[in-house]
Amino acid sequence: MSAKWGLTPFFLAFLAGAATVLAYSPFDLLPIGIFAFAVLVHLWVRADSPRAAFLLGFWFGFGLFGSGVSWVYVSLHQFGGMPAPLAVAATLGFCAVLALYPALAGWVQARVAASNFVRATLVIPASWMLMEWLRGWFLTGFPWLALGYASAGWPYAGFAPVLGVYGASLAIAAVAGLAWCVVRGVGRSAALAALLLVSATGEALRHIAWTTPSGTVGASLLQGNIPQQMKFSPELYARTLDTYARLAGESRTPLIILPETAVPRLLDQVEPEYLRRLDDIARRNRGDLLLGAPERTAPRVYFNSVVSLGTSPGQIYRKVHLVPFGEFVPPGFGWVMRTLSIPLSDFSRGEASQRPLALARARIAVNICYEDAYAEDIARQLPEADLLVNVSNVAWFGDSLAPAQHLQVARLRALETGRAYLTATNTGITAAIDRDGRVIARLPQFAEGRLDVAAPRYAGATPYVRYGDLGALGACALLLAIALVLTRRTPSG
Task: Report the distance separating Cα 57 and Cα 65, nearest Å.
Answer: 12
> Contact, 186 vs 194, CB < 8 A?
no
- Report which secondary-structure segment, H or E, holds 364: strand 362-368
Q: What angle do CA 386, 259, 138 make, to 5 degrees?
A: 75
- Give catalytic status of residue 231 as yes or no: no
Q: What pLDDT, on the 0 to 100 scale, is given for residue 345?
A: 62
For CA atoms 155, 212, 143, 389, give the dihedral sign: positive
Question: Starting from the edge strand earliest in sequence, which strands make up the sheet with 449-459, in order?
Answer: 316-318, 301-310, 288-298, 255-257, 212-223, 449-459
Burial call 386-405: b when 16+ CB within 10 Å, e when fewer = bbbbbbbbbbbbbebbbbbb
* Distance between CA atoms of residues 309 and 314, nearest Å: 6
Distance from C-alpha of 398 to C-alpha of 198, rounded to nearest angstrom: 38
Spell out the per-residue pLDDT of the chain, length 493, in tens. 544 556 799 999 999 999 999 999 999 999 999 999 999 999 999 999 999 999 999 999 999 999 999 998 888 888 777 888 988 988 999 999 999 999 999 999 999 999 999 999 999 999 999 999 999 999 888 999 999 999 999 999 999 999 999 999 999 999 999 999 999 999 999 999 999 999 999 999 999 999 999 999 999 999 999 987 777 778 888 899 999 999 999 999 999 999 999 998 899 999 999 999 999 999 999 999 999 999 998 888 889 999 999 999 999 999 998 876 666 665 555 566 666 666 666 788 888 889 999 999 999 999 999 899 999 999 999 999 999 999 999 888 888 999 999 999 999 999 999 999 999 999 989 999 999 999 999 999 999 999 999 999 999 999 999 999 999 999 999 999 999 998 876 554 4
Going by C-beta distance under 8 Å and a sequence separation of 6 or more, which residues neighbour residue 123? 109, 112, 114, 479, 480, 483
Distance CA 184, CA 170 (A): 21
Question: CA 404 to CA 22: how far, in whole Å?
Answer: 12
* From 181, 231, 319, 371, the catalytic residue: 319
- From 369, 371, 416, 476, active-site residue: 369
4 catalytic? Reply is no
Q: Are 229 and 79 in contact (CB under 8 A)?
A: yes
The CATH T-level fold of domain 212-461 is Nitrilase/N-carbamoyl-D-aminoacid amidohydrolase (3.60.110)
Has this prediction a pTM greater than 0.85?
A: yes
How long a stretch of residues is the chain? 493
Q: Which residue among the candidates 132, 260, 327, 371 is catalytic per the annotation? A: 260
Specify whether 319 is catalytic.
yes
Instruction: Give the domain ranges of the chain.
Output: 3-208+468-489, 212-461
Alpha-carbon dihedral angle through residues 421, 322, 351, 346, given to the nearest 10 degrees? -140
